[in-house]
Amino acid sequence: MPPSRPLSLVTGASAGIGAAFARELAAQGHDLVLTARRVERLEALAQELRDQHQTTVTVLPADLAGPAAVPRLCEALDARGLRVDWLINNAGYGVPGTFDAAPWPVHEAFFRVLMIAPAELAWRLLPGMRERGYGRIVNVASLAGHAPGSAGHTLYAASKAYLIKFSQSLALENRQHGIHVCALCPGFTWSEFHDVTGTRQLMNKLPTFMWQSAEAVVREGYEATERGDVVHVTGRVNRFIKAMMKLLPDKFTLWLSAKESKRYRDLGALD
């Protein structure tokens, strides 16, 4: 049985899907721990949720690119006696341009935030979930994890495919312990993501029917996780795209990816 007021840890909670998850979980009666780098935004969101939902919100700023960030975050949870029931591994970003255009430390930081931190947080928090017989882990992946890799944002699709496979294995290992694990796979989502990567002008060329709001993505993700869905692609358009990708030959989908990448990716040295 779930606790009367589950405690949810949301990474990357200062904006976009992370902030939308915080709002949804607070509305569902959860207490929250919010983490991200931007302290002022976290504090503003925390106060909003306290005022609207009378929920307890703890702000623990962290930069997950640092190798000691996750251990320190978990130590801070332990010091406050906070036991996490829902883990939302949402923190992420993109590195635009070709693979060789960025220095290695940039890629290393990307790996830590999008791949190492989600796995380490799950590893550190799973024992408590198992002991209590209840837990939920949402790994925010992407439709990109189901599609062929594209030129530009070289590591992004690869990291999301990793989260999908990781979620599947983790779900199989922990289902009998009352723990649901879901890889949430949105497509194009209205958020700051493309502003941060400098690709907003390119992304605005895409038709509006391909976009979802962060709130719509989170509502689907919450319901899918509670149902026990292991992988959930949000939106009918995105589910259609995923189905077509599975049916079409790899050679054709790679050609299509190469063609479309020129429209909405910063290809840097390839231009």
- Catalytically annotated residues: 156
In degrees to the nearest 10, what's the CA dihedral of 207, 14, 98, 245?
A: -50
